[in-house]
Amino acid sequence: MAEAIIDGKPITLPEGQQLNGIQAARLAGVEIPHYCWHPGLSVVASCRMCLVECGTRDAESGEVRMLPKLVPACQTPVRDGTVLVTDSPKVRHARAYVEEALLIDHPIDCPVCDKAGECYLQDYYFKHGQPKRRADLRPFHSRKRDLGPTVRLFVDRCVMCSRCVRFCREVAGTGELMVVHRGSHEEIDVFPGHPLANKLSGNVVELCPVGALGDKDFLYKQRVWFLKSHAGICTGCSVGCNIWIDENQDHIYRLRARENPHVNQWWICDEGRYGFHHVHSEKRLLGFRHRPEQGPEQELDWEQARDLLQQWASESSRAAAVVSPHLTVEEAYLLCRFVRQVDAEAPLVLGPVPRSGQDEHFPGGFTIRAEKCPNRRGVVELLQHFGGQAGPWPEGLQRLLEYEPELVWVSGGYKTDWITPQEAEQLAQGRRLVVQDLFPSPASQAARLVLPGAAFTEKSGSYVNHNGRLQWADWAIRPPVGTRPEGAVLWQLLGRSGLYQPEAVLEEIAAEVVAFQAVTLPVPEQGVDLHLSLLAEEVTPSAEPPA
């Protein structure tokens, strides 16, 4: 068993992994400060912040021989017998000098810098800097220029860690950024006429350890210490990237990538990063709208809408549902249960699956899927369990219409147009059409009852990504007044008591549906691979996505 010694503390190295000094020190509970090293990027060892004392212990004699010079921990592989010392006076001096050198030409404009509060330079200065300044440092105004449509560079705040340059070369594969000039004149810049405009460009802002790269979408909007982060799942495509939703007082200010080695590693795409503005759109459906067969349109409150729905449910003998791939697993399950309670033969149809272009693969292993919905796999598994139609949309619609239901429940949640006026007309014809959606659409215009739904940041629940991984997302903000999350509506319609509990529903699904057998509660941070149960049961995975 390989053993290394960090600050006199022996640690056992995990097998089959090549760890560097920073990672090994983390195992021992020691944080080595670093700017340029990032687990997702190549090692350059240029910032010199992670300098440590290094040596080896002779396995037989037990004698420790230290190297005379300090070495960068990020570039030092830790093997059996490696000895690292991270808090000796020599190391502390080295760190303080690095901090001093970085601050000599830093503008120190923290009050106007968006990074203040989560800035490595700030944190490390307080932790590792010298108590007394030797240089006459005065705040000055940093030069700035736009690198592309999403990113602004504050030239003088940069510490030349080159994380952004390496990201563009290694992960995005586009290589727009470079370091120009030499020595203390070094600057990050783009090649003339080639702005930073790749689909992952927002990640460089997150990677930047200081305030040199600013996100134009977030710039000057909010100080980071006011933001509260909630673990969520991006619903922009079927990858299901793990994100942090940063909000303050029920307003989302930004989304950030959350590390998950099985899904998105450390990155998210720009489409997902800036894909939250619809949540605060003024166009959202608010209030329960009822269009009676005769008479004018009415605005109902939830109790009235619930009574009306229950009346319709008892009066209708034939029902059907369109289950949207934007619903969470729990909501889709409750919807299927409700409609089947009204009519045990009710056809359940998969809603339109939005697709745009082709899957995009990046050299760093990141993928943007063409399927622009978070939960097709989950909904398909549930529909198969209930014997519904998991086929493509127009055929599903035909099958639904052939059944001639009296009550049709259509769930939406789409950001873009998803149904044609003709289709909505066909669905509505003389039927009790209930539409639960975020935005007005031909369907909501044709509906007899419109139920305003909740956006992805406003509801808890789980999604199954393209790869069959079930991931849990918690709500981050409260839904706006006049809306009611889909799950809460269906929970009450099914006559369940108390508040909507998605965890309890997921537990029920795990016990009932074979495909969800692998789910354990609480759902692990990195999600559950549903294939585990499928392999155990020798059930073939679900069919390929509809074209």
C-alpha 393/C-alpha 399 separation (Å) is 10
Give me the least distance between CB of 108 and other proteins, in Å please.
10
What one-character-per-residue DSSP string does 62-124 give?
--EEE-SS-EEGGG-B--TTEEEE-SSHHHHHHHHHHHHHHHHT----GGG-TTTTS-HHHHH
List the strands of the sheet with 449-452, edge to edge. 298-300, 288-290, 449-452, 432-437, 407-411, 319-323, 348-350
Give me the least distance between CB of 114 and other proteins, in Å please.
9
Give me the least distance between CB of 110 and other proteins, in Å please.
8
Q: Taking CB under 8 A as the rule, does residue 126 contact other proteins?
A: no
C-alpha 161/C-alpha 147 separation (Å) is 17
Is the alpha carbon torsion for 35, 37, 41, 43 positive or negative?
positive
Give me the least distance between CB of 477 and other proteins, in Å please.
19
Q: How many residues can be counted in the chain?
A: 547
End-to-end Cα spacing for the chain: 51
Dihedral, CA of residue 282, residue 290, residue 440 and residue 321, to nearest 10:
130
Q: Which is nearer to other proteins, 110 or 231 (CB)?
A: 110
Q: Which is nearer to other proteins, 110 or 137 (CB)?
A: 110
Task: Look up residue 285 and give its amino acid.
Answer: L
**Segment interacting with other proteins (CB under 8 A) among 158-166, 223-231, 402-410, 508-516:** 223-231
Q: Taking CB under 8 A as the rule, does residue 82 contact other proteins?
A: no
Tell which one of 141, 145, 262, 361 touches other proteins (CB under 8 A). 141
Q: Which is nearer to other proteins, 27 or 116 (CB)?
A: 116
Q: Taking CB under 8 A as the rule, does residue 144 contact other proteins?
A: yes
- 100-119 positions binding other proteins, by CB under 8 A: 109-112, 116
Q: Which residue has the tokens 């990237």?
A: 241
Cα angle value 375/379/382 (rounded, 5°)? 145
Give me the least distance between CB of 455 and other proteins, in Å please.
24
**Segment interacting with other proteins (CB under 8 A) among 38-46, 213-221, 321-329, 467-475:** 213-221
C-alpha 468/C-alpha 351 separation (Å) is 19
Q: Which is nearer to other proteins, 111 or 193 (CB)?
A: 111
Q: Which is nearer to other proteins, 139 or 541 (CB)?
A: 139
Give me the least distance between CB of 117 and other proteins, in Å please.
10
Tokens of 365: 């292993």
Q: Taking CB under 8 A as the rule, does residue 221 contact other proteins?
A: yes
| Residue 401 · residue 426 · CB < 8 Å | yes
What one-character-per-residue DSSP string does 189-233 give?
EEPTT--S--TTTTHHHHH-SSTTEEETTTTTT--GGG-EEEEEE
234 phi/psi in degrees, rounded to 5:
-75, 135
Q: Which is nearer to other proteins, 126 or 225 (CB)?
A: 225
Give me the least distance between CB of 223 and other proteins, in Å please.
5
| Neighbour-count burial for 124-149, b at 16+ CB within 10 Å, e otherwise | bbeebbeeeeeeeeeeeebeeeebbe
| Residue 77 · residue 45 · CB < 8 Å | no
Q: Which is nearer to other proteins, 111 or 131 (CB)?
A: 111
Tell which one of 225, 282, 295, 344 touches other proteins (CB under 8 A). 225
Tokens of 181: 């000039």
Give me the least distance between CB of 375 and other proteins, in Å please.
37
**Segment interacting with other proteins (CB under 8 A) among 7-15, 219-227, 373-381, 457-465:** 219-227
Give me the least distance between CB of 116 and other proteins, in Å please.
8
Tell which one of 66, 180, 219, 539 touches other proteins (CB under 8 A). 219
- 226-255 positions binding other proteins, by CB under 8 A: 226
Give me the least distance between CB of 252 and other proteins, in Å please.
17
Per-residue contact string for residues 333-372; x = within reach of other proteins by CB under 8 A: ----------------------------------------
Residue ranges that bind other proteins, judged by CB under 8 A: 109-112, 116, 141-142, 144, 219-221, 223, 225-226
